[in-house]
Amino acid sequence: MEKLALVAQALSDYDYVRFYEPKDLDVALLKTLHEAHYVEAFLTGEPRKLATIQGFKPWNVKLRDAVLAVNAGQLQAAELAFEHGLAANIAQGFHHATPDFGCAYCTFNGLALIAQQFPDKRIFVLDCDQHGGNGTAEFVLKLPNLYNFSIYGQAFGCASYERAETRYIHPTQGNFHDYQQAIHEGFAAAQAWGADLIIYQAGMDCHQDDPHGSAWFSTDLIEQREQLVFRLGKNSQIPLLFVLAGGYQKLEKLIPLHVRTFEIAQAIYYPHE
Ligand SMILES: [Zn+2]
């Protein structure tokens, strides 16, 4: 979580980035998305075991409010993407959070949250985090307007269902050609389904220097991935919202990777500005 403020700080140097303060989040929405008892536990801190089941220990008010602000930002970013065609939330998608409770530092699933908030919109998640989006895949069973397309090197129990696809690219034996192919298949699926919004999880934990990374995934290939995603996104004319997703190497190496996503998005969507 500590990378988020540093990415925002780095982006404040760019005059093409416009910042928005998130509005307040209606917690009633969270209670319809996740099991209400779990949401209440996280909001109050009790029972402690359930409130901290995602791994944030000890529970505290500051962390709770940060999680709520991040999810409010997610909804606001979706609105901005519908309005402008491109927007970002400087946050993760929290794709491991399942309908019943959080998991692996993901408290509420910010990807499913958008599908819950906009039931008349078809929400397509292109998840390029190194870990499978297991929580989002489970939400697909609950939300008919949600589609999860997860490209990963570590499965993390991510299931395949109708509207929940998985592409496994091996961390050592895999290659970028297969990864590119998976991205093309993702966009083809989004278009065939008639998606109204694509949420791109621009994970950096697949980078070769990340403790979870794939050996072949160099900085140059990460840049090529961003170029491909934003080019296909722009060509599709489907509004696109991107979030940072995972990334666990040293902050001085990690922040420039995340900032690069914004630079490439800007260069492709607004080449003349
Ligand atoms: Zn990850």
CA 128 – ligand 1 centroid, Å: 9
CA 96 – ligand 1 centroid, Å: 9
pLDDT digit string, tens, across residues 206-259: 999 999 999 999 999 999 999 999 999 999 999 999 999 999 999 999 999 999
Q: 189 pLDDT exceeds 80?
A: yes
pLDDT digit string, tens, across residues 32-48: 999 999 999 999 999 99
Answer yes or no: pTM beyond 0.95.
Answer: yes
| Mean pLDDT over each residue of the chain, to the nearest integer | 96
CA 142 – ligand 1 centroid, Å: 23
pLDDT digit string, tens, across residues 84-113: 999 999 999 999 999 999 999 999 999 999
Q: Residue 1: what pLDDT?
A: 83
CA 181 – ligand 1 centroid, Å: 20
Q: 273 pLDDT exceeds 80?
A: no
- How many Å apart are CA 23 and CA 164, to the nearest integer? 31
pLDDT: is 1 or 268 the higher one? Answer: 268
Strands 86-89 and 123-127: unpaired
Q: Which residues contact 74 (CB under 8 A, 6 or more apart)?
A: 89, 91, 93, 110, 113, 114, 243
DSSP β-bridge partners for residue 243: 89, 201
CA 170 – ligand 1 centroid, Å: 15
CA 13 – ligand 1 centroid, Å: 27
